[in-house]
Amino acid sequence: MDITQALEFISAYVATEQPVVFLQGPLGAGKTYLTNQFAKTIAGITTHLPSPTFTFLQEYKCDWNGKKRIVHCDFYRIETQNAEKVLEQIGFWDYIDSSTIVFIEWPEKAGDIVSALPHMTVNIHQLENGERNYECTK
């Protein structure tokens, strides 16, 4: 599906179910871009959301469909054996509630502790022509 369809799928999911979205794809696939597009076109956030690679997560206030904030996470630098400790230190679990939309890049780096969360997954595939294909699953 294209990005418009992916954003519609994500919107429907986070509006009615646990609002956790796993973003998967290789480096440079567009995970942060997709998060920005959701924040701007759906949640009405006007600021640019930079990749939280070095801070692990960034929080943004919003007022969309009962959601009060978007949290953008990037777990690329987490070592799986230390994931539980790191997630506790950054306060990750404080954001898992029905009023927060959580986008997680590289969720597999945090291992089973995060994969057990109810979530949807968006796999981003880069096509040879430079376009992207989005595969959304619950």
pLDDT digits (tens, 9 = 90+) for 48-94: 888 888 889 999 999 999 999 999 999 999 999 999 999 999 999 99
Task: Give the number of domains in the chain.
Answer: 1
- Domain range for 47 is 3-137
Asked if the model's pLDDT at residue 16 lies above 90, the reply is no
CATH number at residue 33: 3.40.50.300
Per DSSP, what are the bridge partners of residue 70? 60, 101
Q: Which helix (H) or strand (E) holds 37?
A: helix 31-41
pLDDT of residue 114: 94
In which band, very low, low, confident or very high, does the pLDDT at 128 lie, cut at 50, 70 and 90?
A: confident
Q: Count the Cβ atoms, other than its own, within 10 Å of residue 102.
A: 25
Give the DSSP letter of residue 8: H
pLDDT higher at 49 or 8: 8
Asked if the model's pLDDT at residue 17 lies above 80, the reply is no
Kindly state the average pLDDT of the residues 124-132.
90
Give 3-state DSSP helix, strand, coil % of the chain, rounded to 5. Answer: 35, 30, 35
Query: Residue 93 burial by CB count (10 A; 0-12/13-18/19+): exposed, middle or buried?
Result: exposed
Tell which phi-psi region holds residue 30, choosing left (phi > 0), alpha (psi between -120 and 50) or beta. left
Kindly state the average pLDDT of the residues 1-12.
95
